[in-house]
Structure formats: structure tokens, C-alpha cells
């Protein structure tokens, strides 16, 4: 299998810069798999698990928001949040999930509070799934 150059960046800095054999990531239109020689593409990122396959093996991450760009053999993933599975704090994700559920069950919550709680719930579920090895 041929490799391509993959660069993953977040607001906190460079996360990965090297060769990859494949990348699977959730876009706003659904999951996309990238291999060497993929057609040029620009897409908004959704919220889900990213899978990066390299010569060294397969790594999973929680990828939340941003954009994906494929141009020739350079793939750039600019994510709002990108956390490798082994870096996710499962207790923190559970606490975030609990707080979001508390707001969602509050009859007095405003629409804005409910929308924010739904987004937090989705992020927490993605993090838990990735941290728990949900493949």
C-alpha cells in the first residue's frame, strides 16, 4: 500500500506530521476514507472517531470539528479537537457526560443551554467510545 503525507493540526499545535497509509475521519457528510492518490477534496469535519494507519500500526483518536484538505499526496486535517485514544481522560469525559445529562433533564433549561448540553454530550460520547477502544 502506498503512503501519503498527513499533517494533523489543532489550535494547540501540530499533532502529527508524517506518512500514513490510510485515514478515516467523520465529515459533516459522513465517514471518508483517504488513501494515497485520492482525488482532491475539501470537507468540513464532523464529530467522530479518526483512524490513522501507518507502517507502525493503527491509532484511533477523537476528532471534533474543523476541516479536511486533500491535495495530491498531502492530506491536512485541521481539527478543533483531536485527541489520541491513549491521551483521553475517561473520567473527565464521564464527568462531562454527567453534567450534560443533568442540563438535558432540567425542565428549566433554556434552548441555548439545551443546545450546548447536546453538543457536550456528543463530544463526551465520542471521547468515551474512542478511549474505550470502540472500534
- Joined grid coordinates for residue 45: 469535519
67-92 per-position pLDDT tens digit: 999 998 899 999 999 999 999 888 88
Please report the pLDDT score of residue 97 as a whole number: 86
| Nearest alpha carbon to residue 19 among 2, 33, 31, 32 | 2
Report in angstroms the alpha-carbon separations of 94 from 39, 44, 50. Answer: 39, 27, 20
Q: What is the pTM of this model?
A: 0.84
Q: Which residues of the chain have pLDDT under 70?
A: 133-135
Position 133 scores a pLDDT of 65
Confidence at residue 92, expressed as pLDDT on a 0 to 100 scale:
86
Place of cell 491521551: 87
Listed in sequence order, the DSSP H helices in the chain are 90-104, 111-131
pLDDT at 135: 47
The CA R_g of the chain, rounded to the nearest whole Å, is 16
Amino acid at each position: 500500500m502506498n503512503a501519503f503525507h498527513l499533517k494533523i493540526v489543532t489550535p494547540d499545535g501540530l499533532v502529527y506530521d508524517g506518512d500514513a497509509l490510510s485515514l478515516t475521519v467523520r465529515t459533516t457528510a459522513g465517514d471518508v476514507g483517504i488513501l494515497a492518490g485520492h482525488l482532491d477534496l475539501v470537507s468540513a469535519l464532523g464529530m467522530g472517531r479518526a483512524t490513522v494507519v501507518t507502517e507502525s500500526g493503527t491509532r484511533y483518536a477523537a476528532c471534533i470539528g474543523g476541516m479536511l484538505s486533500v491535495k495530491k499526496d498531502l492530506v491536512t486535517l485541521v481539527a478543533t479537537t483531536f485527541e489520541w485514544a491513549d491521551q483521553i481522560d475517561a473520567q473527565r469525559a464521564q464527568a462531562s457526560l454527567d453534567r450534560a445529562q443533568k442540563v438535558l433533564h432540567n425542565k428549566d433549561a433554556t434552548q441555548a443551554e439545551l443546545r450546548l448540553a447536546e453538543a457536550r454530550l456528543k463530544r463526551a460520547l465520542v471521547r468515551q467510545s474512542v478511549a474505550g477502544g470502540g472500534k
